[in-house]
Structure 1
Amino acid sequence: MSHHGYKIKMLRRLKELGGRLEHVEAELGAEHSKDWEELAVEREGEEVLESLGAAGQAEIARILAALKRMTDGEYGYCVECGAEIAAERLNVLPETPLCHACASRHEAHRA
């Protein structure tokens, strides 16, 4: 898939997430000026919606960062080691900033 193909895939996903996040904000009775951390403090009893919101927010941040790397001509290369990210990996996770080896190292540290 070309960079253009990945871009379309990411933009579609952003649109899906945007809709979902608006729905979550509506469910929480959120005002758009409030950030998610403030909401989490105020709405502790609604963990399910909060986690969906936080996960969606994190995914949006990753997609926006990937689109910026595309604009900067750095897309498709690991931000950690500089190696080219395999096309198979980008097909599944077009927003990923890490090659498989670096991602595996991060997972091992978290476990």
Structure 2
Amino acid sequence: MTDIDKRRKQLLDRLAELDDRLTRIEDELDDAPNPDWEDSAVESEGDEVLEQLGTSGQDEQRAIEAALKRIEAGTYGECVKCGAEISEERLDALPHTPFCRECAKAV
């Protein structure tokens, strides 16, 4: 398996994990509210956390989808800002990153 195939699989696997997690979050948020006021207040706080996790997951989904498009375009691993090569270490840590280390600092 070439490195780009390995990266594609890694990104697709993470995308599947996120889809599953976001589905569970959505199901949890769709549950009927508790009629007990105190329990409902606690659930409401929990719902806010779930909504934030959902938003974060959606942001990561978009970043992964963009990375997959860069793979298809043949530009994966190139910084979208300066065109420099993104280090393997950085891609290991953040496989969907569009920026090299230097440009990421400036964002």
Partner of 1:38: none
Partner of 2:16: 15
- TM-score, normalization by structure 2: 0.82
Shift of 1:45: 7.4
Q: Percent identity?
A: 50
Aligned residues: 94
Deviations 1:62-101 (CA, angstroms, capped at 9, x unpaired) = 0000000100111100000010100111111110000000
Structure 1 stretches lacking a partner, 5+ long: 31-42, 107-111
Partners of 1:53 and 1:66 in 2: CA distance: 20
Shift of 1:29: 1.2
AA aligned to 2:80 is V
Partners of 2:30 and 2:103 in 1: CA distance: 39
Matches within 5 A, 1:18-33: 18-29=19-30
Shift of 1:46: 2.1
| RMSD (Å) for aligned C-alpha atoms | 1.8
Partners of 1:92 and 1:44 in 2: CA distance: 31
Partner of 1:105: 106
Identify the structure with the greater helix proportion.
Answer: 2
- TM-score, normalization by structure 1: 0.79
Partner of 1:85: 86
